Structure 1
Amino acid sequence: MELYDVWFILIAVLWTGYFFLEGFDFGVGVLTKVLARDRKERRVLINTIGPVWDGNEVWLLTAGGATFAAFPEWYATLFSGFYLPLLLILLALIVRGVAFEYRHKRDDDRWQTNWEHAIFWTSLLPAFLWGVAFGNIVRGVAIDQEKEYVGGFFDLLNPYALLGGLVTLTLFTFHGAVFVALKTVGDIRVRARKLATGVGVVTAVLAVLWLGWTQLEKGDAVSFVAMLAAAGALLGAIAMNQQGREGWAFALSGVTIVAAVAMLFLTLFPNVMPSTLNEEWSLTVSNASSTPYTLKIMTWCAGIATPLVLLYQSWTYWVFRKRIGTQHLADVH
């Protein structure tokens, strides 16, 4: 196995970790307008992810940096061709971070309401656009012989990619609802479980359509196994949620995300961005990668830094592991 193959796998792992962790972040943000009945319940939801949301975004930064360093041609084509949707995601993430930090700075109803609206929309938009982006990466885009994207913005809004956006939006919302049920007590916990069941059924229908479409066009035996694992884990998560076993439900919803992302990368390999104009113009792990020396240095750095990051983030989740409810919050702000 060549180093560029190893780094393709590592980047797939980074994106998988990002969607697993930031997925429930986005879901909780969406639920602030769907599940919460008043400001105090919205505060409960926000507090479930308050200690961890910014740490979860480290996975995105690492995935983007690793792509830039290991596959510069992929990074350049991706960020030039997908400039507008990625810019919208970036702006949403910036505003989202500001909203978390500024919402409680003033005891003013209008101020807090506006930032709560911002949290909702800046969670919903990236959750949808990431599915659109990865749908286009797997499906393929118009890349010419110079390895440059020659399509337009509206070429990215095709039925396959839009369905992918709906899948990630509903899947992340389900993942977030299960996380809320795991992290809260009282009535909001019960309502989160009930909502998760309904969202889970919708997610299952959309996911079967999208992953089945992917398998028919791009898949092989290995990706088929990953698709079955994703479908089985999602059904298991719904069943565990109905039984009130939130820990198992959250774990299985996480497995769903892991298996689904793994399937997408399996159908993509050895390409990193297929060309719809000519297969020979596609970006692959070999023609889009950095030099072997660069990849070697990156491998040593990743081997040292990655365990430290994992230990720190695991410690953070352990410290803030307890459930919370409205009774744990003061009435001010």
Structure 2
Amino acid sequence: MEVIWFVFFTVLLAGYFALEGFDLGVGLLLPVLGRTRETRDRMVAAVAPYVLANEVWLVAVAGTMFGVYPLLEGEVLFGLYPLVVAMLLSWVVRDAGLWFRRRLDGSAWRGLWDAAIAFGSLGLSFGWGMTLYAAATGFASPPVHPLGVLLGVVMTLLFALHGWTFLAWRTPGEFGATRSGLALLGTGLVAAIPAVGVLAGAMPYLLEHSAPAATLNVLSVMVLPVAPILLGAQIWVWRTFRPGKDAFRFPSFF
């Protein structure tokens, strides 16, 4: 049962990096590619249908960690407390930017919340790289380390590449390029590789420090049957908003 939950946790974390990665990437590119208000609106609208569905994966990752790896929860929350707080604030700022940017029509108002999206995306992307570094060292090294900073830069660049590929897939030709779904899948896998690599290295520790078998059995009955629903909802979102004849009609509440 410990191995099943390890695989499940790995899939969830990899799925979050591959899916939320392009959300963050588009946010990172907002001040780079969004030279006009209309272009920024198009970028946000392109990613809007996917944001909430992608964030569900992070909730699933956190819930699985708390239930299956309670010792890891302590390591993350207490050992990385300042970084976790900074990432949560970045998440709130990014989402606030998405929700508030169109509530008023002034250019200053839009500019403020577009900047919030970009800075929040940067904080999350960079923070994930530093978190992966700390996890790779068994939380023996603080995340503010040259290698941690380097991994933060790498994750930021990977998410930006993934976001650019998403825009080239979702809005063919609008940002100077067109990419296939296969290319988007490729950048998603690349964005997820660091997370999978860290978890693979931590596999012995996680298997040894899993919750008791009785707890895992209860969680299996309660959680695993919901996994197909999560996957089905994700597939529905992608099929509904895939590029096609209506690719330039972007329903958006952001």
| TM-score normalised by L of structure 2 | 0.92
Q: Which of 192, 201, 204 is residue 270 of structure 1 equivalent to?
A: 204
Give 1:157's match in structure 2, choosing from 137, 140, 144: 144
| Alignment-derived partner of residue 235 in structure 1 | none
1:226-305 equivalence runs, <5 A: 244-272=178-206, 285-286=207-208, 288-305=209-226
8 A contact 1:26–1:173 mirrored in 2: yes
What displacement does 1:245 show?
4.1
Q: Cα 1:78–1:245, aligned 2, differ >3 Å: closer, same or farther?
A: closer
Structure 2 Cα separation of the partners of residues 304 and 118 of structure 1? 37
**Percent same amino acid at aligned positions?**
30
How much does 1:112 deviate?
A: 0.9
Q: Deviations over 1:18-55 (max 9, x none)?
A: 00000000000011111121010001110111111111
Q: Deviations over 1:85-122 (max 9, x none)?
A: 11111111112212111110111111111000000100
Alignment of 1:1-333 (within 5 A): 3-142=1-140, 155-186=142-173, 188-190=174-176, 193=177, 244-272=178-206, 285-286=207-208, 288-322=209-243
Count of matched residue positions in the alignment of Structure 1 and Structure 2: 251
CA RMSD of aligned residues (A): 2.2
Distance in 2 separating the partners of 1:327 and 1:249: 20
Q: Deviations over 1:247-298 (max 9, x none)?
A: 22112112223444322222222124xxxxxxxxxxxx32x32221110111
Gaps of 5+ in 1: 143-150, 194-243, 273-284
Q: Distance in 2 between matches of 1:325 and 1:165?
A: 37
Relative to structure 1, the CA distance from residue 271 to residue 324 in structure 2 (aligned partners, 3 Å threshold; closer, same or farther) is farther
Q: Quick one: distance in 2 between partners of 1:28 and 1:38?
A: 15
- AA aligned to 1:189 is F
In the TM superposition, residue 326 of structure 1 has moved relative to its aligned partner by 11
- Distance in structure 1 (CA, Å) of the matches to 2:65 and 2:245: 38
- Structure of higher RCO (CA pairs closer than 8 Å, 6+ residues apart): 2
In the aligned structure 1, how far is the partner of 2:199 from the partner of 2:161?
Answer: 22
